[in-house]
């Protein structure tokens, strides 16, 4: 009688273990699906987002825009990454424009500052995409430039802007 009872317990235990494993596997694959559908995409979509963002932004006269997103090799990207990359390129372009003109062409230099003043309201500088210290660094550098001090833009270009 005990052997039947032990077999029955073993069988019931195995069934319960199987059900628990099935539930856990089901939950984990569902989590992956929701993560993918809640903010991540592939390179092709990010590159298109990047190219679309480049077209929507204002650029200094004579700027030659990239025709592709280079330097990326990840499998997944957060939606918005293409916009951020384009916006960072935009920021660098206008800082370079200001540096090239602030001593020789005040109107173009002023136009560059006016464009850069838009950055705090752009997605790439929002609290969801950018930390407080980076936003403050940008603000401080913009204020320096308004006072005729190029050091902030020079430092940012040296550290953060691709050639």
Q: How many residues does the chain have?
A: 163
Say if residue 12 is in the same domain as residue 56.
Answer: no
pLDDT in the model for residue 18: 52
Taking alpha carbons only, the member of 120, 112, 108 closest to residue 153 is 112
Say if residue 100 is in the same domain as residue 145.
Answer: yes
Say if residue 59 is in the same domain as residue 31.
Answer: no
- Residue that wins the pLDDT comparison between 33 and 11: 11
| Domain span including residue 132 | 42-160
Taking alpha carbons only, the member of 21, 89, 29 closest to residue 60 is 89
Residue 6 CA to residue 127 CA, distance in Å, equals: 60
- Give 41's strand partners: 77
Say if residue 107 is in the same domain as residue 93.
Answer: yes
The answer to whether 49 and 81 have CB atoms below 8 angstroms apart is yes
Say if residue 7 is in the same domain as residue 46.
Answer: no
Say if residue 28 is in the same domain as residue 79.
Answer: no
Say if residue 48 is in the same domain as residue 127.
Answer: yes
pLDDT digits (tens, 9 = 90+) for 84-142: 999 999 999 999 999 999 999 999 999 999 999 999 999 999 999 999 999 999 999 99
Say if residue 81 is in the same domain as residue 127.
Answer: yes
- Residue that wins the pLDDT comparison between 49 and 15: 49
% pLDDT > 90, the chain:
74
Q: How many domains does the chain have?
A: 2
pLDDT in the model for residue 32: 38
2 pLDDT band, cuts 50/70/90, is low
pLDDT in the model for residue 162: 75
Say if residue 71 is in the same domain as residue 147.
Answer: yes
Copy the structure tokens of residue 146.
Answer: 């308004």
Alpha carbon 118 to chain centroid, angstroms = 18
The pTM assigned to this predicted structure is 0.76
Say if residue 74 is in the same domain as residue 116.
Answer: yes
Kindly tell me if the per-residue pLDDT of 10 is higher than 70: no
Say if residue 66 is in the same domain as residue 29.
Answer: no
Say if residue 34 is in the same domain as residue 55.
Answer: no
């Amino acid at each position: 009688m005990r052997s039947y009872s032990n077999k029955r317990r073993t069988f019931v235990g195995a069934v319960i273990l199987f059900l628990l494993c099935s539930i856990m596997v089901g939950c984990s694959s569902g989590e992956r699906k929701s993560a993918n559908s809640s903010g991540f995409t592939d390179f092709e979509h990010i590159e298109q987002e990047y190219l679309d963002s480049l077209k929507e932004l204002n650029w200094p006269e004579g700027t030659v825009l990239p025709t592709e997103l280079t330097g990326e090799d990840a499998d997944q990207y957060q939606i918005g990454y293409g916009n951020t990359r384009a916006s960072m390129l935009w920021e660098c372009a206008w800082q370079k424009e200001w540096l090239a003109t602030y001593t020789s062409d005040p109107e173009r230099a002023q136009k560059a500052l006016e464009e850069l003043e838009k950055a705090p309201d752009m997605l790439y500088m929002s609290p969801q995409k950018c930390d407080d210290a980076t936003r403050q660094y940008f603000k401080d550098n913009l204020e320096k430039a308004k006072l005729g001090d190029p050091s902030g833009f020079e430092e940012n270009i040296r550290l953060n802007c691709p050639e």
